[in-house]
Every structure is written in structure tokens, then in C-alpha cells.
């Protein structure tokens, strides 16, 4: 099954100021490099200052690459009704997010990105939101 990437050309909203996070979004991630990755959840780190979702992605030649997606903080996710059981190892997901600016993997070798929405196989979305979002950036 393939899916279509929703494409829209609104980038300026993300350029403003860093806000919801313990660090600057713009210093670490590139809002002009949105990505969509399809894979299988291998681990969820329900930790401050950001929850992290690790997703294994099978590439064309069968090689498996692990992606590490930075999400919001656990309390910000909890205030929207999600918890550490909202994603489980083995869940098939599509993750929308943004690539890290430096393009370098994390120390554990995983690809590094920021997530803004995770869609489960049944169509439900979880962990919606990113420190890139205008609402978080401007506190409105």
C-alpha cells in the first residue's frame, strides 16, 4: 500500500521563534525539510524533556534503518490524552515530521528527526503536535 503525501506550501509560520520545548526547534530541525516515514515502532521513550519514538524502516534493498523521532514532552502529550501506551512496539505507523538540520544520526546510530503526527494502521493519529507548530511557537 502506498499513500500520498499531503503537500502544502506554508512554511513561514514555522520560521518565527522557538517556544515549546526545552530547546530551540529551529536550531535543530529544518521546517523546510518535512519527511514522511512508514515503519514499525520498536520503542517509545516516555521521558522528559521530549518523548522519543523509535521506528524501524525497511529500505528498498531490505536494509532496516531505525529512525528516532523527537515528540513533545510527556506532559504536553498527556494533556491531549495520550500516554506511554498510545504506541506499542510492533505498531505499524506513518510518521510525519521534520529532518534534523545537521543530518547526523544520534549517538546510537538512528536517523534523527522531529515528529508532528503519527498515524496508526487503523487511521487513528497520536502524538499530534510539534515544537515547530505555530501554536507552540507563539503561545497562542
The footprint of other proteins on residues 44-73 (CB under 8 A) is 45, 47-50, 52, 56-60, 62, 64, 66, 68, 70, 73
**Residue 124 binds other proteins (CB under 8 A):** no
CB contact set of 81 (below 8 Å; sequence gap of 6+)? none
| Closest separation in Å from C-beta 74 to other proteins | 5
**Residue 121 binds other proteins (CB under 8 A):** no
Near other proteins by CB under 8 A: residue from 109, 122, 124, 140: 140
Degrees, nearest 5: CA angle 106-94-128: 85
**Residue 24 binds other proteins (CB under 8 A):** yes
Residues 95/67, Cβ–Cβ less than 8 Å: yes
Near other proteins by CB under 8 A: residue from 44, 71, 86, 116: 116
The Cα diameter of the chain in Å comes to 45
For 14, the grid coordinates are: 514555522
| Closest separation in Å from C-beta 116 to other proteins | 6
Give start and end residues of each alpha helix (H) in the chain: 74-78, 134-138
**Residue 85 binds other proteins (CB under 8 A):** no
Query: For 133, phi and psi rounded to 5 degrees?
Result: -65, 145
**Residue 117 binds other proteins (CB under 8 A):** yes
| Closest separation in Å from C-beta 121 to other proteins | 11
Amino acid at each position: 500500500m502506498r499513500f500520498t503525501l499531503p503537500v502544502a506550501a506554508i512554511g513561514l509560520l514555522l520560521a518565527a521563534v522557538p517556544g515549546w520545548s526545552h530547546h530551540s526547534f529551529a536550531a535543530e530541525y529544518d521546517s523546510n525539510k518535512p519527511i514522511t516515514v512508514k515503519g514499525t515502532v520498536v520503542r517509545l521513550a516516555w521521558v522528559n524533556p521530549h518523548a522519543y519514538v523509535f521506528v524501524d524502516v525497511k529500505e528498498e534493498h531490505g536494509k532496516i534503518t531505525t529512525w528516532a523521532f523527537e515528540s513533545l514532552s510527556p506532559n504536553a502529550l498527556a494533556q491531549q490524552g495520550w500516554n506511554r501506551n498510545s504506541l506499542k512496539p510492533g505498531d505499524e505507523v506513518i510518521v510525519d515530521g521534520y529532518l534534523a538540520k545537521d543530518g547526523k544520526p544520534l549517538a546510537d546510530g538512528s536517523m534523527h528527526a522531529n515528529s508532528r503526527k503519527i498515524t496508526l494502521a487503523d487511521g487513528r493519529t497520536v502524538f499530534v503536535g510539534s515544537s515547530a507548530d505555530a501554536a507552540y511557537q507563539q503561545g497562542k
